[in-house]
Structure formats: C-alpha cells, structure tokens
Amino acid sequence: MTTEARKRTMSRGLMKMGVWNVRGLDGREKLLQEELEKANVDVDIAVTPETKKNLKGLQELEDYILLYSGVPANRRAASGTAVMIKAKLKKRIHSYMFVIERILQLRYKLQRGYLTLLAVCGPEEGKTEQTEEFYETLQDQINKINKNDYIIVAGDYNGKIPIDRNPGTNGEITVNNNGHKLKEFASVNELKITNTFFRHKEIHKMTWSARSYRSVLL
C-alpha cells in the first residue's frame, strides 16, 4: 500500500502498538494503565475493544489519554471500543472521531505524513445483520481517509482466519463467517492481516479461551 521510500521514512520513528480486549473497562481505566506499565513493553498506543463503557469522550489519566466510544447512556453497556495514547504524544494527535460505538478513528502525526488508526469491536459470530452494518460503516470510513495516510485497522473482529497463503500462512484450521468477512474486507482494501504472518508456539498463539476450548480469534 505504500512505496518503499515511505516505508523507510516510517521506520525511522518506531512506534509500539497493541490490542487488548478488556471485556469491560468502565471504572477500571487506571487499572488498565497500571497493567500496560507493568507489562514493561512501553506501549505507545493501545486499542482496547469491548469496553462496555457508555457514552463517548476523552479522559486524561496520569500517563495515558483515553479516547472511548460507547453506546448512549440510556442503553445497556455493550461492545464499545477505545484507544489509549501515551500522554507525552498528545501533540501528535491530529484529530479523532467517534464513528459508532464499534468504531473510533484517530489521525496521528508521524515524522513524515499521517497514520489513520481505526479502532474496532466487531459483532459476535452469528449476528449477520449487525456484521453487515459494521463492515458497511467501516468501509465508508476507509473510503474517506486521505489517500496518502498509512492505515491500521485494529481491534477485535471475532473472526477465525483460515490457514492459506492469503492473507498469511499462520491462521486456524477452523474458520467462521466473521473470518470470511474480515478476509474479504482486507482483500478489497489491500490490507494485511498481520496476526497470520507470524509463527508462534501454540501456547502463544491463542487469544481466546473458554473451559477447554481455545482459539486464535482476531
């Protein structure tokens, strides 16, 4: 999606990003900050889907700035997504937009050019109508992004990606409908599903578990 020259330019300003499904953030913002610092990996930007935090806004913590997008106050807290940015990087925030409770957009100033980050929380498997609406809205936002921006779409898609050569060779044996939608979305927009490009031990690959079942959910 970018020329080699632009890739080299971006590499000079290394930035550490991560995704952490918190499964409920309201009232635990400071705890999350402590955990990020305890991890000792110096995360600059953390996408935190499934916040289950009502309303939308900006909250300044001690070392991070929290942007969050959730459902209205009169609705039961569900889904929601957020982005935590190192407070020292505040001046690099060009703009942000609360698209819907499942999509938050951040435009971030790099040494040269801009990065547009879309933080997402996709519907659960089986919610066909919600999934279609989610991807339609997400595609609409992609279409509006400045063509010169770098693009990262990060979060929880509740998708299982198959093992093949497109997008990568390190997916799962099983696949679900959300996985097919994610793969189609990435292909149309020439995006790489980065989780599938890295080989790990089985114990390190799993991102979701319940009882005796484990999965590499994206």
pLDDT tens string 167-191: 555 556 678 899 889 989 999 999 9
Q: What is the pLDDT, as a whole number, of residue 192?
A: 87
Cα dihedral: 190, 99, 115, 51 (round 10): -100
Tell me the pairing of strands 64-69 and 81-86. Answer: antiparallel
Cα dihedral: 181, 161, 85, 92 (round 10): -70
* Residues of the chain below pLDDT 70: 1-13, 39, 162-173, 196-218
Q: What is the pLDDT, as a whole number, of residue 44?
A: 93
pTM, to two decimals: 0.84
Q: Domains in the chain, please, with CATH? A: 4-158 (3.60.10.10)
Q: Is the dihedral angle over the CA atoms 47, 151, 57, 120 positive or is it negative?
A: negative
Q: What is the pLDDT, as a whole number, of residue 12?
A: 53
The pLDDT tens digits for 140-157 are 999 999 999 999 999 999
Tell me the pairing of strands 208-210 and 213-215. Answer: antiparallel
Q: What is the pLDDT, as a whole number, of residue 77?
A: 85
